[in-house]
A = this chain, B = another copy of it.
Amino acid sequence: MSTNKGGGGGKKKKEVKKETKLGMGYKKDDNFGEWYSEVVVNSEMIEYYDISGCYILRPWAMEIWELLKEFFDSEIKKLKLKPYYFPLFVTENVLQKEKDHIEGFAPEVAWVTKSGKSDLEAPIAIRPTSETVMYPYFSKWIRSHRDLPLKCNQWCNVVRWEFSNPTPFIRSREFLWQEGHTVFATKEEADEEVLQILELYRRIYEEFLAVPVSKGRKSEMEKFAGGLYTTSVEIGVMIMTHGDDKGLVLPPKVAPIQVIVIPVPFKDADTTAIKGACESAVYTLNQAGIRADLDARENYSPGWKYSQWEMKGVPLRIEIGPKDLANKQVRIVRRDNGTKVDIPSTDLVEQVRVLLDGIQVNLLETAKAKRDACIEIISTWDEFIAALNNKKLILAPWCDEEEVEKDVKARTKGELGAAKTLCTPFDQPDLPSGTVCFASGKPAQKWSFWGRSY
Contact = CB atoms under 8 A, between A and B. Distances in A.
B146 A85 contact: no
Interface string A175-212: 01000000000000000000000000000000000000
A108 B116 contact: yes
Given A111-B113, A116-B106, A87 B2 contact: no
Contact of A112 (B50, B83, B86, B126): B126
Contacts of A2: 115, 120-122, 124
A146 B111 CA distance: 43
A156 interface: yes
Interface stretch (A53-61, A280-288, A305-313): A53-61
A296 interface: no
Contact of A51 (B108, B124, B136, B159): B124
Interface stretch (A89-97, A262-270, A432-440): A89-97
A123 interface: yes
Number of copies: 2
Contacts of A50: 91, 94, 136
A2 B116 CA distance: 13
A62 interface: yes
Contacts of A173: 89
A114 B116 contact: no
Scoring A49, A109, A136, A299 by chain B CB atoms within 10 A of each residue's CB, the highest score goes to: A49
Scoring A47, A87, A126 by chain B CB atoms within 10 A of each residue's CB, the highest score goes to: A87
A157 interface: yes
A107 interface: yes
Nearest to A91: B3
A341 interface: no
Interface string A111-145: 11111110011111010000000001100110000
A84 interface: yes
Given A62-B83, A87-B55, A88-B159, A115 B123 contact: no
A323 interface: no
Nearest to A163: B115
Contacts of A62: 82-85
Can you list the 8 inter-chain pairs with the closest CB atoms, starting with the nearest?
A: A115-B161, A59-B82, A54-B87, A107-B116, A62-B83, A57-B85, A111-B114, A113-B113
